[in-house]
Chains A and B, each alone.
Chain A
Amino acid sequence: MTIALAIIVSGLTLGSMYAVSSVSLSLLWGTLGVLNMAQGAFLVIGAYAAFTATSMFGLPAPIAILFTVLVGALTGLISYFGLVRFLMNRPGFETAVIIGTFGLSLIVENLVLRVYGAYPFSQPLAVAGGFNVGRSYVPYQNVMIFLGSILIMIVVALILNRTRMGRAIRATAQNGAAAQLMGVPVRLIFLQVFLIAGVLAAISGTMLSSITTLSPTMGYDPMLKAFIVCVVAGLGNVYGALAASFLIGLIEATVEFYLGVKYGFPVLLLLIILTLIWRPAGIFGYRQAAR
């Protein structure tokens, strides 16, 4: 019982981390077909923005959060205007954008390294304390991330499903050309989605860094996990991504408990490949065209 409890606590923590990492990636990939290799960099920017606002500028938490959100929005804007805009409507967009965002991630990593150095700062924008469940200690921060991930997912799902902008985004995702013909301004949609993705990534980066530490390369691992979440969930399925995150977190926690930490990721990878062979559109996917 204690073992099961420990695995569940650890799995839910991992799951909520994956959920917050994957929401922005899932949005970009699912709706625009942009596999954002700079996702890790987006997370890094958010984490360092929160750190800067709190530790360096000494801002109170609400203003620091607002600052982080603005920086995230700016990240999305710059990515769109500096890179993605040029690659749209070009054959081979899918791969060009992968290469371009790789370039972006290198630039961000280098800049962060030059400005802040590689010192593993801890994230000051976090809640302290915790409680015990059986023999496992659960920090409040983990609970906050768990709730935060669910909240973010719900907000994104509401934006996509209930707003006019969300309808336009979904229309673009389903058939960009048709959407354009129906009067959907596709370029504006790209811009909007990049803005939202930038903001979400900044929030996610802040939350992630609050239970690990800040570093210029802290984004790569969550990015990789987020990729896997997206593949398992199926593209553009926000609730699916939430479910997949927790599923993967629990599987990983179980594997790590019984086989050792080092096998967590390889076993996951094997599961992903099997998933793709069995259901190419993802477990919760509905778009067969993804293949």
Chain B
Amino acid sequence: MIKRDIVIGVILLAIAAAVPFLWPERYVLLELTLFFIYATVVTQWNLVFGVAGVFSLAQMAIFAMGGYATGMLGLYLGWSLWAAMPVGAVAAVIFSVIIGVACLRLGGAYVALLTFAIAEAMYLLIITDTECFFMEGVTCRNFTGGTRGLVNFGNFGFQQLLGYKYAAFGNYFLALAILALATAFSVFVIRSPLGTAFAALRDNTTYAVARGIGRFKYQLLVFAASALFTGLAGAVYAGYFSVMGADTLNLTLLLLLLSMMVVGGLGRVWGPIAGAATLTLVNEGLNEFVDWRLLGLGLILILFIIFWPAGIVGAIEAAFAWLGPKRVAPQLRRSPGSSVPAATARRVQRKATVEAAPPEPVLRIEAILGEGPVWSEDEQALYWLDIFLPAVNRFDPAVGINKATPLDRPIYAMALRTRGGAIGAFEDGIGFVDIDGGTIEIFGDPKAGSPVNFNDGKCDRRGRFWTGTMAKDWSSPIGGLYRVEPSQRITQMDRGIILSNGLGWSPDDRTMYFTDFGRRVIYAYDFDPDIGAVSKRRPFIEIPQDAGFPDGMTVDAEGCLWVAHWDGWRVTRYGPDGKPRQTIRMPVKRPTSCTFGGPDLSVLYVTSARMGLTESELAAAPLSGSVFAIRTDTVGLGEPKFPA
């Protein structure tokens, strides 16, 4: 990722550096310089809002603080702007820290509101500043310059340095340099562990709170650091125009920059630049319709927030993810001249293949024990559980957003209900969960009194919910298999299991698979779908010790089993004959379960765990806890819902 960013950055920088020599029109350079200044503000705003999740509307106030401080140092102390600029930036940082301390402990809308009010207060203080601070000849000048703006503080001296002809070059490259630094900083933050932590915080506040992550501290840090570049941009603006006015605090300008951020793509590295470029071009294009600029801006904001909340860069990323290199590369290529995937022909002869490129996470998150992935075909969303930071998660891959509903007790298994919500297995029995509100309503507990917990569970194709139990000591054979009918009747179907785990049914519904993690074995039963009975339990797949333990599983349309190997760093696809056909290496030690999802049910979603891993193991597998997506050449069968 970071390599790609560096390549893109260098290319853009090279183009930007070449423009003045290829196209030295004054107007173009002036417009581009302003573009660089605004893009700098937007990259930093993107860090604050898109990445750190602080909806600050004080970004232009921070910008103005940098500009005014620089101008005042030049005017009142006679400093060179080169010396004043860094001090102005520091003033902006101090200002941002004050704002941050006052606002960042509050929730989303309050932050927006207070930062907005602070910017407005600053604007009002400047434009109502009428007291004489000093006399310039016979005219009275205000401390802030008032409505007239702060003037006569000099500039960067490019005219003397480079001559009149090239003075615009000086400002151009200064603004470009600041933008380059600001972008490098933004790449650094987004791609660093801090950026990942923020993504997790933004996607899942519950975890953050549960794990005691000091959100305030990190948010303040990013807010202050981004103020440095925002302040520098303000200083460059002041030096470039040789005037600093309250019009920089104008609401329309703020909304123009907000639109740049939204149009480009919130939280994306290249979003601000793409958005700033797009809106600058649109603005130029609308020059003839200047009377309707606000309307156009408003429409753009509304259309993007409704229809393309991931912005231009989000759309490009989605397109590349679709067209780009597939995760399960060899199987996905189509043979020339054939519309049938080549893999269909090759499947028969294929032996166990080992995947080269490790799958990448679609959701970077530090789940303690991610489990129970279920794809909802109606919602095109992935539901998954964190058992021990109890939560039902809903991940929407189209927009990349995960929403967690925290629960008040561990949830071991879950199936969606046809009428909404879910049926789940808990410490105190089987019950219904309201996924929006997180409330649980238990209706029965077949294991009461026994030292076991529920574990994995799933609905069969007639909607019966099946779940097993596991010994709390992970070693006594006291677990069982239970069936919950839509009437809420619970029946024990098997016993003698150590640690029940993944289950599934063959496509013809004649075989049921059920895992005993404790014995490293996946059993097969004869299954009667009409009466929901199992018989003739036999070992179907035995997992060798070096391959870890069989955890959650899913069955594909060809009757193959996809099994997550706990401690095995892999997901294996087993044929209906029980023989391994394909191995996918995972970048995590403890993949926990998998299911098929995506528009055509061909994406394998894999959950994982951080539970029980040592610091060094976590360092070796920093993605532990994340949710992964692997494109496959087969399709899943979809998860039935509980019909009540």
Whether a CB of chain A sits under 8 angstroms from the CB of B120 is yes
Q: Which residues of B contact A110 (CB under 8 A)?
A: 292-295, 298
Q: Which of A63-87 contact B (CB under 8 A)?
A: 82-83, 86-87
The answer to whether A99 and B262 have CB atoms under 8 Å apart is yes
What is the bound-complex CA distance between A94 and B305, given in angstroms?
A: 12
Give Cα A99–Cα B439 distance, bound, in whole angstroms: 31
A154 to nearest B CB, angstroms? 26
Within 8 A of A (CB), among B61-88: none
Is B102's beta carbon under 8 Å from chain A? Answer: yes
B124 within 8 A of A: yes
Contact of B113 among A33, A35, A92, A176 (CB under 8 A): A35
- Are the C-beta atoms of B109 and A103 separated by less than 8 Å? no
Cβ-defined partner of A33 (8 Å) among B106, B109, B124: B109
1/0 contact string of B280-312 vs chain A (CB within 8 Å):
000000000001111101111110011001000
B121 within 8 Å of A (CB atoms): yes
> Are A180 and B436 within 8 A (Cβ)?
yes
Known: A106-B294, A106-B295, A181-B434. A272 touches B114 (CB 8 A): yes
**Are B258's CB and A107's CB within 8 A?**
no
Contacts of B329 in A (CB 8 A): none
How close is A199's CB to chain B, nearest CB, in angstroms? Answer: 23
Q: Is B13 an interface residue (CB 8 A)?
A: no
User: In the complex, A285→B113 CA distance in Å?
Assistant: 17
Whether A95 contacts B113 by the Cβ 8 Å rule is no
Given contacts A104-B298, A111-B295, A181-B434, contact A99 B113 (CB under 8 A): no
A224 to B57, CA, bound (A): 13
Q: Is the CB of A231 within 8 A of B258?
A: no
Asked whether A114 is an interface residue with its Cβ less than 8 Å from the other chain, the reply is yes
**B324 at the binding interface (Cβ < 8 Å):** no
Q: List 8 A-B contacts (CB under 8 A).
A: A92-B309, A100-B301, A102-B255, A103-B297, A103-B300, A231-B114, A261-B128, A277-B105
Given the contacts A105-B298, A262-B124, A224 and B434 also touching, CB distance less than 8 Å? no
Report Cα–Cα, A29/B108, bound state, in Å. Answer: 13
- Smallest CB separation, A273 vs chain B (Å): 5
Q: Is the CB of B436 within 8 A of A176?
A: yes
A-contacting residues, B122-158, CB 8 Å: 124-125, 128-129
Per a CB cutoff under 8 Å, which of B293, B297, B306 touches A100?
B306
Residue of A nearest to B420 (CB): A181
- A266 and B125 contact, CB distance less than 8 A: yes
Asked whether A35 lies within 8 Å of B298 as measured between CB atoms, the reply is no
Specify which chain B residues have a CB less than 8 angstroms from the CB of A92 in the assembled complex: 309, 401
Q: A178-B437, A224-B116 are in contact. List 9 more A-B contacts (CB 8 A).
A: A95-B49, A102-B258, A103-B298, A103-B300, A104-B302, A106-B255, A106-B301, A178-B434, A231-B110
A94: chain B residues within 8 A (beta carbon):
108-109
Contact A178 B124 (CB under 8 A): no
Residues on the A chain within 8 Å of B302, using CB: 82-83, 100, 103-104, 107
> Is A86's CB under 8 angstroms from B306's CB?
yes
B252 beta carbon closer than 8 Å to chain A = yes
CA distance A99 to B295 in the complex (A): 14
With A29-B109, A91-B396, A181-B434 as given contacts, are A103 and B117 in contact (CB-CB < 8 Å)? no
Complex Cα spacing A178 to B440, Å: 12
Closest chain-A Cβ to B59's Cβ sits at a distance in Å of 14
Q: Is B128 within 8 A of A262, CB to CB?
A: yes
CB-nearest residue of chain A to B294: A110
1/0 per residue A201-233: CB within 8 Å of B? 000000000000000000010001001100100
B417 on the interface (CB 8 Å rule)?
A: no
Q: What's the Cα separation between A52 and B353 when bound, in Å?
A: 76
**B132 vs chain A, min Cβ distance (A):** 15
Q: Is there a chain A Cβ closer than 8 Å to B251's Cβ?
A: yes
**Chain A residues within 8 Å of B, Cβ to Cβ:** 29, 33, 35, 82-83, 86-87, 90-92, 94-96, 98-100, 102-107, 109-111, 113-114, 175-178, 180-181, 220, 224, 227-228, 231, 261-262, 265-266, 269, 272-273, 276-277, 280, 290-291
Q: Is B118 at the interface (CB under 8 A from chain A)?
A: yes
Q: How far is the CA of A84 from the CA of B112 in the complex (A)?
A: 18
Decide if B107 is an interface residue (CB 8 Å cutoff).
yes
Give the complex CA separation of A82 and B300 in angstroms. 14
Which residues in B have their C-beta under 8 angstroms from that of A104? 298, 302
A100 near B305: Cβ-Cβ < 8 Å: yes
In the bound complex, CA of A102 to CA of B262 (Å): 12
Whether B128 and A102, one on each chain, are in contact in the complex, defined by CB atoms closer than 8 angstroms, is no
Q: Tell me if B447 counts as interface (CB < 8 A to partner A).
A: no
When A83-B302, A94-B108, A276-B110 are in contact, do A228 and B117 touch as well, CB less than 8 Å?
yes
Identify whether the interface residues of B are mostly helix, strand, loop, or mixed: helix
Closest 8 CB pairs of A and B: A177-B436, A103-B301, A106-B298, A110-B294, A107-B298, A177-B437, A262-B128, A110-B295
Bound Cα distance A15, B501 (Å)? 65
Task: With both chains docked as a complex, state the minimum distance between the C-beta of B352 and any C-beta of chain A, in angstroms.
Answer: 40
Contacts of B258 in A (CB 8 A): 99, 102
* Interface membership of B55, Cβ < 8 A: yes
Least CB distance, A46 to chain B, in whole angstroms:
19
A95 lies within 8 A of B309 (CB): no
A195 to B103, CA, bound (A): 32
Contact between chains at B294 and A99 (CB < 8 Å): no
Given contacts A91-B401, A273-B114, contact A107 B106 (CB under 8 A): no
A119 to chain B, nearest CB (A): 16
Given A106-B295, A273-B102: A96 and B305 within 8 A (CB)?
A: yes
B403 at the interface (CB under 8 A from A): yes
Residue on A with the closest CB to B49?
A95
Contact B107 A291 (CB under 8 A): yes
**In the docked arrangement, what's the CA distance between A100 and B297, Å?**
11
Inter-chain contacts of B401 with A (CB < 8 A): 91-92
Q: Which residues of A contact B252 (CB under 8 A)?
A: 106
- Please name all residues of chain A whose beta carbon is closer than 8 Å to the beta carbon of B396 when the two chains form the complex: 91
Q: How far is the CA of A96 from the CA of B266 in the complex (A)?
A: 11
Output the nearest chain B residue to A180 by Cβ-Cβ distance: B436
Contacts of B298 in A (CB 8 A): 102-107, 110
The docked-state distance in angstroms from the alpha carbon of A33 to that of B128 is 34
Chain B CB within 10 Å, residue with most, of A92, A104, A178, A272: A92
A99 CA to B299 CA, complexed, in Å: 11
Q: Which of B371-415 contact A (CB under 8 A)?
A: 396, 399, 401-403
Shortest distance between the CB of B492 and any CB in chain A (Å): 31
- Shortest beta-carbon distance from A100 to chain B in Å: 5
Q: Is there an interface contact between B251 and A98, defined as CB atoms closer than 8 Å? A: no
Q: Are A98 and B306 in contact (CB under 8 A)?
A: no
CA A175 to CA B295, docked complex, whole Å: 36
Report B-chain residues with C-beta under 8 Å of the C-beta of A177: 434, 436-437
**With A83-B306, A110-B295, A220-B251 known to touch, is A272 a contact of B437 (CB < 8 Å)?**
no
- Report chain B residues within 8 Å CB of A181: 434, 437
Return chain A residues, CB-CB under 8 Å to B399: 91
Is B114 a contact of A266 with CB atoms below 8 Å? no
Q: Looking across the interface, which residue of chain A has its beta carbon closest to that of B261?
A: A99
Expressed in whole angstroms, the Cα–Cα distance for A83 and B439 within the complex equals 30
Residue interface bits B208-251, CB-to-A below 8 A is 1, else 0: 00000000000000000000000000000000000000000001
Taking the nearest CB of chain B, how far is it from the CB of A104, in angstroms? 7
Of A107, A227, A231, A266, the residue contacting B121 (CB under 8 A) is A266
What is the CB-to-nearest-CB distance from B404 to chain A, in angstroms, rounded to a whole number?
A: 10
A227 and B110 CA atoms in complex are apart in Å by: 9
Closest approach, in angstroms, between the C-beta of A280 and any C-beta of chain B?
Answer: 7
Closest B residue to A99 by beta carbon equals B305
Least CB distance from A260 to B in Å reads 9
Whole-angstrom distance from the CB of A39 to the nearest CB of chain B?
Answer: 11
Of A102, A178, A265, the most chain B CB neighbours within 10 A belong to A102
A42 to B439, CA, bound (A): 38
**Smallest Cβ distance from A244 to chain B, in angstroms?**
15
- In the bound assembly, the distance between CA atoms of A82 and B302 in angstroms comes to 9
